[in-house]
Amino acid sequence: MSEDRRAQPAEPAASQRKPYITGNWKLWGTRAQAAEYCRTFAPLLDDPAADVGLFVPFTALDTVISALDGTGVTVGAQTMSGEDSGAFTGEVSAAMLTEGGAGAVLLGHSERRQLYGETDRALQAKVPAALAAGLAPILCVGETEEEREAGDMERKLRHQIGEGLESVPDDRLADVTVAYEPIWAIGTGQVATPDQAQEAIGFVRALVGGRSEEAAQRIRVLYGGSVKPGNAAELLSQPDVDGALVGGASLDPEGFAAIVAAAG
């Protein structure tokens, strides 16, 4: 490579990453509600500048997948087992999800961690299991209020990212999406400031950079926690914030479509 070419500034990293706006319905969405939602939502998607994902209850997956067919929206589950089969009552495997047409899965959401005992060790197996099955995983990470106040945010993120991505080979790291969701901001209306989101997400990207600089430039890292139509644009304008994971505000199709539009 000539001196001249080496002197060229690198392309801005953000330009390589398409925004990704995702909705997490949590425990909402009978098939009837899902069908009605999609009837309103689909026409509001006018060639969006962002990729769009909806994470819905298992029982609503096929309804949403059929209703949004042709819109380009990725439809996924909110959790899955790391096992293929066996004595794991109530669990759903990656193969069961892909067979039903799911394209993605949320892993390690803080509610799964806090209420159902999901561990970093379990996620270490689940993230590669999702990738191997052809599902695009979103690995959720984030600190509690106490951890933030104690100055432990970076330690927590280092641990969650380190364990969650440990068994993912470097050349597949960028196929994972990470959602940084500070627990104190989830469902509380207490959104992180754009600076707080940028700082934490920049730190997550640097952690991935410790494994592979190329992956760090390509991996999408989303912010989640009280994202609303009114605060989305400012959060999304931060250089390292590649999108949003939206809980409560995704239940309103018009509001969620407005957040998708804010990424454009």
The packing angle between helices 229-236 and 253-262, to 10°, is 20
Is residue 225 part of the contact set for ligand PGA (CB under 6 A)? yes
Dist. CA 180–CA 183, nearest whole Å: 9
Min dist CB 240 to ligand PGA, Å, is 18
Region binding ligand PGA by CB under 6 A among candidate stretches 10-18, 62-70, 209-217, 219-227: 219-227
Residues marked active site are found at: 109, 181
Choice from 246, 257, 259, 260 touching ligand PGA (CB under 6 A):
246
Q: What is the dihedral of CA 225, 231, 232, 235, to 10 degrees?
A: -80
Region binding ligand PGA by CB under 6 A among candidate stretches 83-91, 166-174, 195-203, 240-248: 240-248
Number of residues binding to ligand PGA, judged by CB under 6 A: 13
**Residues 166-195, mask of contacts with ligand PGA (x by CB under 6 A):** ---------------x----xx--------
Choice from 67, 104, 174, 227 touching ligand PGA (CB under 6 A):
227
Is residue 243 part of the contact set for ligand PGA (CB under 6 A)? no
Is residue 76 part of the contact set for ligand PGA (CB under 6 A)? no
Q: What is the dihedral of CA 143, 147, 149, 154, to 10 degrees?
A: -70
Specify the 3-state DSSP secondary structure of 191. Answer: coil
Using CB under 6 A as the binding rule, the residues of this chain from 22 to 41 that contact ligand PGA are: 24
List all residues 6 or more positions away from 217 whose beta carbon is below 8 Å from its beta carbon: 13, 16
Min dist CB 249 to ligand PGA, Å, is 6
Q: Which amino acid is at 258?
A: A
* Partners of 177 in the β-ladder: 138, 220
Residues lying near ligand PGA in the complex (CB under 6 A) = 24, 181, 186-187, 224-227, 245-249
